[in-house]
Every structure is written in C-alpha cells, then in structure tokens.
Structure 1
C-alpha cells in the first residue's frame, strides 16, 4: 500500500466524516413541500425526491385519506407505497369525520417523531387548506359535537342551502361576505360554530401564522395550460379504464357523505342516478378537473414562498432544495 493511496484514503475518510457532520448537525430540519395542480406530475417526482433524501412522504390530499377511493383520487399504488413509506393514505372510512384542524395536529405530531430520525421529510398534495394547515397553521376553532353536526345536516337536507345562507347572513354577516355560498360544507360549518359557541365564526378566525420548529421549503410544479389540460383529460380516461365507474358504484350507498363530494364521483353518481349518460359524465369529470386545477393555481400563486419549476426540471429542483438547506 503506497503513500499516495494512504493519503487519498485518509482524505476520503475525513471528507466523509465532514459531510456526515454537516448533514446531521448543521443542516436544519427541513420539510419539503411539493405542490401544484391536479395532474401536473407531483406523485412520481415526490417519490424521486424522497429517495434522493432517503426519507418518507406525507400526503396532503384530503381524499387520499379514504381507503375506498383509490382510483378516483389517484392514490399511490402498492408498488409506490412499497417504494417509499407514505403517511395519511387510506387511513379513513367513508363515513369518518375529518377536518383540516385534525390533519394539522396529527401531521405536526408525526413530524416530531420523524425528525428524530430524519433531517428531511417530503409533504406533497394538492389540497390547499391541508398544505396551509401544516405550513401556516389554522385557527383553533372548536370541534363540532355530533349532535350539532347531525342537526345542521338534517336542516341542510330539509331546508336547502339558500335558507342556511340567509341564516348565516344574520348570525355572521362578516363571514357571509367572504364565504363561498355555493359550498354547503363551509356554510354549514360556520353555522355549527355559531350555534355551538354562541359566537360568530369570524371571531375564531385570527389568521395568524404559527411558527414551526423546522424549515419549510416549498416547490411548486407547473405546466403550460394546454399541456396540463391534455394530461388531465388523459388521466381521466385512464381512471375509467382502471375501473373508476366500478369504484363509484361500490361506494354509491355513501354518496351523500362529504368524503364523496368530490370530482370524479359526483359526476358518475349522476350517471348511476340516470340523470346523465356515461359519456357526458366523463366529459364533466374532465371539465371539473380542469376547473379545479385553475382554483388550485389561483390559491397557490398567492404564496410568494413557492419556487416554481416544470416537473421535468428535476436536476434544478434538487439543486434548489440543497441550496436552501445549506442557508
């Protein structure tokens, strides 16, 4: 063993030790947040990022939580779940109640555990409120009791959304001005809080960003609109080929639950109810998916912390992430 080889070996050992110390003691705990509209290509890239950083994935998709909605939510396949450990996928039944507040609490608790073993964790999904719940926190709004929830759901079924909107205008005029009055979930929840607490829903909405004990680096994926729409259309066709209609038929008995008030299922329920033809229902899935992608981008574009890339810019994304971790 010559002297030059020994010097090279010593240098390699010292370099490896230095790299280990930098990675494990000087790089802050980092949550990589990979976001973007439906169909843009988050799933495959999230897998490669998790592999690159030897870590796991937390799903931020409010519908992938439900175990019976695999095809329509484009949930990770068994092969992908084997490839990288995922959390918050397939953990709920269709009738289970779940909220963004519960998601925030459970993810933050999970991260406390994960960060004891890992320096980096990947969170990915397109549910805007769930992403914000983890990154910014949401207001500490009281949990609605089952009696109040049942009462309001019964009133919604018997009286309709317009009547409840009129009631919200009287009880909380400030929130009435900004709420999506075509969204029964939002209207009902605000009224639940009003009735349960005797206070306005607005009084609980402080909108203060919570400080997190880890660094958050946000990467957004985007494509040209024509390219994205083509991907969405082809993905819907693939879902139908994979058995989306059969999946919708299997959960049809639960169609009135909030878990199924989502694109892909509600259109096929119209077909199963005999109101639409199958071809028309499929076209409406594509159309509503495209509309939803625009809503997602409008929401995400307000966040100036997001750095945007095309999904194929993997090398640039990795370089950006590593540069942010070294700051």
Structure 2
C-alpha cells in the first residue's frame, strides 16, 4: 500500500485474522496521527477476558486513547447492534476532538455493520431469551430447529440443524416480535461510515507464519495467567451460550478446570479453534467485504511509517 493512498480525512479500518498484528499497527498509526483506537472485535469488548482475547495491555492503552475495550460484562449477550450504537458515540467524540478514528479488529460483522448498516432487530426481553434457552436444554436443538422450520422456514433452511446459538437466536426473535429474522434484516440501520468515507485494509500474513504465531501466542496467554482468568469467569456460572463463554480457548480451559482433559489437551483445542477461526476470517472478508485492500503486515508497517505526524489536524 502506497503512502499517497492514505487519506487522513477518512476513518481508517484495520482488519485481519487473529494474531496478524492489527493492534500494534493501529497503535503505531494512532501515535503518529494523534488518533483514537476503536475496538472492532466482538470478544475484546468483555472486561472479564483481557488475556485470553489478547486485548491491548494497560500500558498500550495508556499510550493513546482506546475505546470500546473491556466495557461490557461477560453476563451481557452483547450484539453487533449494541456495538454500532456505542461506536456511533465514540465516532462523534473522535470527530469533535479532531482525532483520526482507527477501527481495528477481526469481527467481520462489526465492520460490515459499520460500513453497510445492520438489521433493525429490537432488543429481546430477558424472559423470552431465558425461556428459549430452557427449552433448548430440555428438548434439544433438533426440536427447536423443527419449530423454527414451522415459524421461520427461511432461517431454518439457512441454518445447520445443530447450530444451537443461531437457532435459539432466530426463535427468540420470532417469540419476542412475532416476525421472522429475515423480515427484520430487510429493514435495517444505516451505516455509520459509508464506504466512501473510509480507508480500509486487511492484514494478510502468510498462512503458516500466522498459524505459528497463533500457537505461540496461546502459550504466552497461558504463561500470563489466562487459566486464572478463565477460572474466575467459570466461577460466575454464567449461561454457556453467552458469547463471552465461547471465546476461543475458554470452553476447553473450563473443561480442564473440571478435570475432564489435561492442560495441554485444552491448549491444543484452543490453538486449533483459533487457527480454524483465522481461516474463516480470510474467507469471510474475501467474500463479504471485498472493498478492503489486502496487504502483508510488513507492507502495512512500511505504509504507516510514511505517515507524516500531525497531518490529521490539517485533514480536519
């Protein structure tokens, strides 16, 4: 990516697979431009999971403004819609302060919501969610999928019959609103940042190097007391269907804490799950957000190195 392609009058979006170096790149760019780093990762929003989600360290957060990191409790079923609401406030704040907004993360749905808008599904009452999940545990996912096929055949056809989380979600929407999920998707919220207002790049490391980094990072997480962090989360006895309870490595480490598998078996499951997630990130961005420019991490670092400090004030 050439330096002249960076338009500091636009928001910068930095996406990429896990462990690709996104956060370090965003931090460097924010330091050079006086920008603000805005979390665009669905797991790094949870305050309970700093280590296992590789959130920026307190020292890194102190170097430049960081927003939307660790601001949600793990007991909350946080959604892309809730994130867009929060991101809109942070974006307005950045613009008022004439700071370059730098959105960084690996959650494709968050970036898609940011640049293309999102369906307008209203909040689901807790009692409806609890009732559906009670039935899921009591009757099994197949029974709920059968019911969904009757009440929302389009969603049932699209979802795999054993996709517990998405089947429960689709059924919750029907229960709470009387309308099928695809009906809500057709309405939607406008984008916060139309594609013409962003400079977007996707860090694309060489696959084998990335997988080696993922494996090494998981070991480093365990050395940094990730197991204690997960033990504290497990001690809260939260609903296992909550997003925070499904962060990569969390389910396997909880199994280890219960004595079901060894620590090394849990670590290998966590590493494998993270590698598979990285593969899905490559595929998702390639097909869903083709407007992102793919660059190697090395090229991106060189690109950021050419940014002229202070230019953001001129661009505003």
Give the TM-score band, short-chain normalised: 0.7 to 0.9
Q: Which residue of 2 aligns with 1:287?
A: 272
Please give the secondary structure, in 2, of the residue aligned with 1:37: coil
Q: Does 1:241 align with 2:223?
A: yes
Q: C-alpha root-mean-square deviation of aligned residues, in Å? A: 2.3
Q: Partners of 1:100 and 1:264 in 2: how far apart? A: 22
- Is it true that 1:102 corresponds to 2:82 in the alignment? yes
Question: In the alignment, is residue 256 of structure 1 matched against residue 242 of structure 2?
Answer: no
Instruction: Tell me which moved more, 311-320 or 60-69.
Output: 311-320
| Distance of 1:181 and 1:152 partners within structure 2 | 16
TM-score if structure 1 supplies the norm length? 0.85
Q: State the 1:274 CA deviation.
A: 2.1
Residue of structure 1 equivalent to 2:212 = 230
Change (3 A) 1:175 1:189: same
Structure 2-normalised TM-score? Answer: 0.88
Q: What residue number does 1:137 align with?
A: 117
Determine the structure 2 residue equivalent to 1:278: 263
The answer as to whether partners of 1:148 and 1:192 remain within 8 angstroms in 2 is yes
Look at both structures and tell me which one has the larger radius of gyration over its CA atoms. Answer: 1
Larger displacement relative to structure 2 (136-145 or 269-278): 269-278
Structure 1 gaps, min length 5:
1-26
Rounded Cα–Cα distance in structure 1 between residues aligned with 2:22 and 2:159: 29
8 Å Cα contact 1:28/1:119 also seen in 2: no
Deviation digits for residues 108-137 of structure 1, max 9, x if unmatched?
122122212225210001112122221211
- Alignment correspondent of 1:189: 169
Equivalence for 1:22:
none
* Cα distance in 1, alignment partners of residues 259 and 111 from structure 2: 37
Residue 63 of structure 1 corresponds to 43
1:172 to partner: Cα distance = 1.0
- Which of 286, 291, 298 does residue 301 from structure 1 map onto? 286
1:38 alignment counterpart: 18
The reply to whether residue 218 of structure 1 matches residue 200 of structure 2 is yes
- Say how many residue pairs are matched: 298
In the alignment, the residues of structure 2 paired with residue 249 and residue 223 of structure 1 have an alpha-carbon distance, to the nearest angstrom, of 32
Question: Which gives a bigger RCO, structure 1 or 2 (Cα 8 Å, sep 6+)?
Answer: 2
1:82 matched residue in structure 2:
62
Any gaps of 5 or more consecutive residues in structure 2?
A: 1-6
Q: 1:113 to 1:287 in 2, by over 3 A?
A: same
